[in-house]
Structure 1
Amino acid sequence: MRRLVYLFAFLVPAGLLAVAFYMEYVMGLEPCPLCWLQRFAFMAVGAVGLVAVLHNPGNIGSRIYGFLLALTGGIGLGLAGRQLWLQSLPADQVPACGSSVDYMLEVFPLIDVLAMAVKGTGDCAKVVWTFLGLSIPGWTAVFFTLIILAGLGILFGLVRGTSTDR
C-alpha cells in the first residue's frame, strides 16, 4: 500500500505540473512568482515520491519518506495559503505588481528573488482561472493537503506496506 501512495505522490504532481505548463503555454496564463514556487514544491514532492517508489524502503525508510512528503507538502501548502490570502485582500490592500520572475533572476541574487516571490505581488492576487469555485492556488492547496495527509499516514504507520514490501 505504501508503494502505491509513493507512486501517486509522484504521478499526481507530475500531472499537475503538466496542467500548469498547459495553462502557461497553451492557454497563455503567465505564472506569478508564488505560482513558480508552488511548482517547485510539487517538483520536490514528485521527486520524493519517485525516489521512494524506486527505493521501496522498509519501515524506518518509509517513515523518513513520509516525513519528507509531509514537509514538502507543508511548504507548498504554505505558499498556496499565502497566495489565497493575497487573493482575498480588498483591492486597495493588494501589493503593487512586480517584475517577472525572469527579470528578477537576471537582476537580483537568488535569495532576494525567493524573498520577493514569497511576499507575492499584485500578479499573485489576480484570479485568472477557476474550476468549481476554486482558483489555481485553491486547487494546489487541496492537493498539498492530500500529500501532507498521505505523508503523515506513512510517517505514523497508518499506511502500511504489503507482504511484498520489505
Structure 2
Amino acid sequence: MRLSYRLVNALLVLATIVGMSFALYLEHVTGLEPCPLCIFQRLGLMAMGFIALIALIHNPASPAFKRVYAFLAGLGMLWSVSVAGRQIWLQHLPADQVPSCGPGLNYLVNVLPLKEVLSEVLTGSGECAKIDWTFLGQPLSVWSFVFFSFLLIVCIWQMLRRNT
C-alpha cells in the first residue's frame, strides 16, 4: 500500500493535534508548567503542522512544490528535535553545572529584542533542566525527542520519495 502525499500530510496534521493536545493536557490539567525550551519545541511542532495543513489543502501537482512543503515542515521538526536535544543535555548535566534559573519567557519577550530572547532561551536555564514528569523512567524531553525525530523522518521521507 502506497501512502498518498495528501494522506501523509493529514497524518502530520493529526500528529500535531495529538502532540499539542497532550502538551496542553499536561499544562492545564496536571499543572505541569512548560519551561521556555518546551514552548520553543511546541513552536516547531506547530510550524510543521501548519505547513502540512497548507500542503494538505493545496495538494500541489508539482513534485517541486511537494518537496518544498516537506522541506519546510522538516525544518520545523528539525528545530523541535534540536531544542529537545538541548533540553536532554541540560537535564543530564551535573547539578553544579546547571545554569541558574533566569526570568520567565513572558518577561524576556516584553523586555528584550527577539534575537536576545532566542539567545537567552536557547542557552537554557535551571528550570529547563528540572525533570517534573517521567514515563517508563524517561523524562518528557526524551519522549518529545523521539516523537519529533519520528516526525522529522516522515518529513524527510515525504521530501525524498517519488510522490503520488
Q: TM-score by structure 2 length?
A: 0.92
Question: Whole-Å Cα distance in 2 between the matches of residues 16 and 153 of structure 1?
Answer: 20
Partner residue of 1:164? Answer: none
Partner residue of 2:107? Answer: 103
Alignment equivalent of 1:22, drawn from 1, 21, 25: 25
Alignment equivalent of 2:13, drawn from 3, 10, 14: 10
- Residues 43-68 of structure 1 show CA distances to partners (whole Å, capped at 9, x for unaligned) of 10110110011111122211111211
Q: Is the 8 A contact 1:7 1:50 kept in 2?
A: yes
Q: TM-score by structure 1 length?
A: 0.91
- Residues 92-149 of structure 1 show CA distances to partners (whole Å, capped at 9, x for unaligned) of 1111011111121222222211111111100000111011222221111112111211
Cα root mean square deviation, aligned: 1.2
- Residues 20-52 of structure 1 show CA distances to partners (whole Å, capped at 9, x for unaligned) of 111111211111110110011111011011001
Partner residue of 2:59? Answer: 56
| Structure 2 residues not aligned, in runs of 5+ | none
Paired residue type of 2:99: P
Matching of residue 79 in structure 1 with residue 83 in structure 2: yes
Paired residue type of 2:59: N
Q: Is the 8 A contact 1:65 1:151 kept in 2?
A: no
Question: Whole-Å Cα distance in 1 between the matches of residues 139 and 11 of structure 2?
Answer: 23
Partner residue of 1:148? Answer: 152
Question: Whole-Å Cα distance in 1 between the matches of residues 9 and 83 of structure 2?
Answer: 22
Question: Whole-Å Cα distance in 1 between the matches of residues 147 and 58 of structure 2?
Answer: 24
Higher relative contact order (CA 8 A, sep 6+): 1
Question: Whole-Å Cα distance in 1 between the matches of residues 33 and 97 of structure 2?
Answer: 22
Question: Whole-Å Cα distance in 1 between the matches of residues 136 and 64 of structure 2?
Answer: 40
Question: Whole-Å Cα distance in 1 between the matches of residues 16 and 145 of structure 2?
Answer: 12
Q: Is the 8 A contact 1:45 1:72 kept in 2?
A: yes
**Number of matched residues?**
160
Deviates more, 1:132-141 or 1:73-82: 132-141
Q: After the TM superposition, which segments of 4 or more aligned residues of structure 1 sit over 2 Å from their partners?
A: none
Query: Displacement, 1:74?
Result: 0.8
Question: Whole-Å Cα distance in 2 between the matches of residues 72 and 40 of structure 1?
Answer: 8
Partner residue of 1:139? Answer: 143
Identity of aligned residues (%): 42
